[in-house]
Amino acid sequence: MIEEFVSISTLMICTFLSTMVVGIFMLQVWLTDRRHAAAGYWCLAMWVGSLCTILFALRPIGFPLITVGLGNALAAFSYAFMWAGFRVFDRRPLYLSVVLAGPVLWCGAYLLLRPVADDVNNRVILTSIIIAVYSIWMGLDIWAGRRHERLPTRSIAAFFFVTHGIIYSLRIPMAIAAPAELGHGTAYSAWFALFSLELFAHTILSAVAMLVLIKERGEALYRQASRTDTLTGIANRGSFLEDVQAHLARGGQGTLMIFDLDRFKAINDTHGHVAGDAVLKHFSARVSSWLEDGMLFCRFGGEEFALFAPRHDIDQAADFAERLRCEVAAMSIAHEGREIGVSVSIGLADVAAFGADFDRLQSAADNALYAAKEAGRNCVMRWTPSEGLADIAERMRVPDAAPAFNASIAG
């Protein structure tokens, strides 16, 4: 028989040791960085689970109110705290009623219902329902979190918990069809030993999954920080170039827009650099709220920004840029009781005209931006290859000739 090869007592000892070790690691993670609040809940879940295992191991000694009643209540609390940890990890609402539901259900049934207190199989059925519900709920929550954060281990962790919940729920029909016998204070049967082995394996796998998820979250935050402008919170120049060049390498089309806040130095000189920073943040937030799906927006440096519209030709981009220019011109930024008005000059160049070389595309958009400033600022200009040729020809004219300007104003 399987129970001759799988010692439930040995499994309890191994489960106790593993949960204690994982709990220590979780505590270290939480103490090192309190932003990992989930680690605190998981640490609590592991240590409560360890205490639960000790009480289960003491069942042959007696005191069923402690070893059975309190032990199973702690098992329910362990899964409830684990559920709470995953809710916190994914920034989902945490409900105290759900945390308490499993333990309260068990305590009420054990203390008030004699069939539960007196029959080990009824206790198996009730604990299986509680643990299966928590486990499947955790798995579904982990899977749903993929919509917002695609950590590599999410799918595996979701699989662990959902399958554990399903397997654990199979104890219910087994307890009905082949009731376990009570011996030395605990249940003994072939199927009970197998489920205890699965519980031990799940404890190890889920603990590893939690630690890996925390590690992957930290790495993701570090990567995000390296791609983000610290002042405005939008993409920085490096990440923008990486994303646009990847798009161009795939043969994608689109239009590059370069923005420059007009007379920004005067804002700093008149209102101070704190006010200038407020203008940059407000401008970034407003433009970000107007972006269409797939657009890339970044702070290029100083008061200069860039936007790449992958599905816009030059005419569509010019219309979009003109709407942005009008919206910015209508903005009024309040700072320390003063209203600060801003305007923006925008230069455009499209991939269809200048090809997939980003340097050439940027140079053309820069030329259009300079043209917008020469034209009096607060306007949108586009650059085409013909304007580039005209500019070269203009520079080759005799010095006393009057300069000519060939860039076109969008719209």
Enumerate the active-site residues. Answer: 303
Q: How far apart are CA 311 and CA 373, in angstroms?
A: 27
Rg (the chain; Cα; Å): 32
Please answer whether residues 70 and 123 qualify as being in contact, where contact means their C-beta atoms are separated by less than 8 angstroms: no
Please answer whether residues 345 and 377 qualify as being in contact, where contact means their C-beta atoms are separated by less than 8 angstroms: yes
Query: How many CB atoms within 10 Å of residue 177?
Result: 8
Note the maximum CA span of the chain: 109
Q: How far apart are CA 159 and CA 148, in angstroms?
A: 18
Please answer whether residues 293 and 326 qualify as being in contact, where contact means their C-beta atoms are separated by less than 8 angstroms: no
Amino acid at 331: M
Q: How far apart are CA 140 and CA 123, in angstroms?
A: 26
Q: How far apart are CA 373 and CA 390, in angstroms?
A: 19
Q: How far apart are CA 66 and CA 109, in angstroms?
A: 15
Report the number of secondary-structure helices (H) and strands (E) in the chain: 18, 10
Q: How far apart are CA 220 and CA 242, in angstroms?
A: 17
